[in-house]
């Protein structure tokens, strides 16, 4: 349970403490709301979409008049401590800090809030109000265990594949949840184990994708993006002079051809291929000469694989093969 050792303070005590600690502890504050401001507590627990921002709510937008009326309404129903309660709720949920005056507040700090286990994170919100981990999500302890496994490619890969067997209600897998959390905690992965995670992902990436949700809907992030983002982060953490060797090793294996190919599309894009704008030279993960050499190795592997006929990609809805 989150913050189970925090003392339950009164609304006024918590509000005064914010002058010293601008962000109040989530679980202690929520418990104070439950005891001393039940109207606010019930309103939040019954209407999470009005307090937390998601990609979907940001994209759709909300009617400002309705939004303003909703938040004015629950504040007016409070019997006591209206102003301090409203200020505490705004601190818990930064996305509503300016709703009462009808303006919008989209902070873009979702990863930070999730990493800090803040109640304003859509992924963390249910933990505080159900006092349990939502179905299909992963615990903070499991994330720490996965980071501890990062030094052992077999153990890390096995853990990810085991999670890929567990389906979430939205069709994704628990591996999806772990990949998202590892992206949040990328800085916690030791530098000397970054190459291990890199090789593990380029080894089992196809299998993880094949186990997950293949036909994603609008605004859903496919697992392949999460894998590519994490591979990119791990490659950036390795010494620049060693990066080509790490990738050459993965190309030479007989695993995850789709994942490796997709990652090379990203690397080529950094150099302005496929009609895009090239990244600044100091932002590219590989120099042009290394990329060209590795592309030759990858094309050789693709041609060898194509000799046996077109392969099935993890996204079973389409076939792919190298273009000659």
Contacts of 166 (CB under 8 A, 6+ apart): 136, 173, 174, 175
* Residue 315: per-residue pLDDT: 47
pTM: 0.61
Query: In the numeric block, which tokens belong to residue 169?
Result: 């209600």
**How does residue 227 score in pLDDT terms, banded at 50, 70 and 90?**
very high
The neighbouring-strand residues paired with 319 are: 312
Higher pLDDT, 179 or 108: 179
pLDDT tens, residue by residue, 4-63: 333 344 555 545 544 434 455 677 788 788 878 888 888 888 788 888 865 444 444 455
Q: Which of 7-21, 130-144, 149-163, 306-320 has the lowest mean pLDDT?
A: 7-21
Q: What are the C-alpha distances in Å from 164 to residues 7, 76, 174, 224?
A: 38, 47, 6, 13
Indicate if the pLDDT at residue 99 is higher than 80.
Answer: no
Indicate if the pLDDT at residue 319 is higher than 80.
Answer: no
């Amino acid at each position: 349970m989150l913050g189970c050792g925090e003392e339950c303070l009164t609304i006024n005590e918590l509000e005064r403490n914010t002058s010293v600690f601008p962000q109040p502890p989530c679980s202690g504050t929520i418990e104070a709301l439950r005891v001393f401001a039940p109207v606010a507590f019930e309103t939040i627990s019954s209407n999470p979409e009005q307090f937390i921002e998601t990609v979907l709510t940001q994209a759709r937008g909300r009617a400002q008049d309705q939004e303003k009326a909703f938040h004015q309404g629950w504040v007016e129903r409070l019997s006591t401590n209206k102003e301090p309660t409203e200020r505490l709720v705004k601190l818990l949920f930064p996305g509503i800090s300016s709703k009462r005056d009808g303006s919008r507040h989209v902070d873009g700090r979702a990863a930070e809030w999730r990493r800090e286990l803040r109640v304003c994170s859509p992924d963390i919100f249910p933990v505080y109000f159900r006092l349990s981990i939502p179905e299909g999500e992963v615990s903070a302890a499991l994330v720490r265990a996965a980071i501890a496994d990062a030094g052992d490619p077999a153990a890390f890969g096995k853990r990810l594949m085991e999670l890929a067997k567990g389906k979430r209600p939205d069709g994704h897998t628990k591996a999806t949840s772990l990949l998202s959390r590892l992206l949040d905690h990328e800085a916690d992965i030791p530098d000397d184990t970054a190459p291990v995670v890199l090789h593990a992902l380029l080894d089992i990436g196809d299998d993880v994708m094949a186990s997950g949700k293949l036909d994603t809907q609008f605004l859903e992030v496919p697992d392949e993006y999460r894998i590519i983002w994490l591979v990119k982060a791990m490659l950036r953490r390795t010494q620049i002079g060693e990066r080509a060797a790490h990738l050459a090793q993965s190309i030479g294996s007989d695993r995850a051809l789709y994942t490796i190919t997709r990652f090379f599309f990203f690397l080529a894009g950094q150099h302005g291929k496929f009609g895009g704008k090239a990244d600044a030279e100091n932002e590219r993960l590989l120099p042009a000469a290394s990329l060209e050499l590795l592309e030759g190795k990858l094309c050789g592997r693709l041609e060898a694989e194509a000799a046996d006929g077109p392969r099935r990609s993890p996204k079973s809805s389409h076939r792919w093969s190298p273009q000659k």
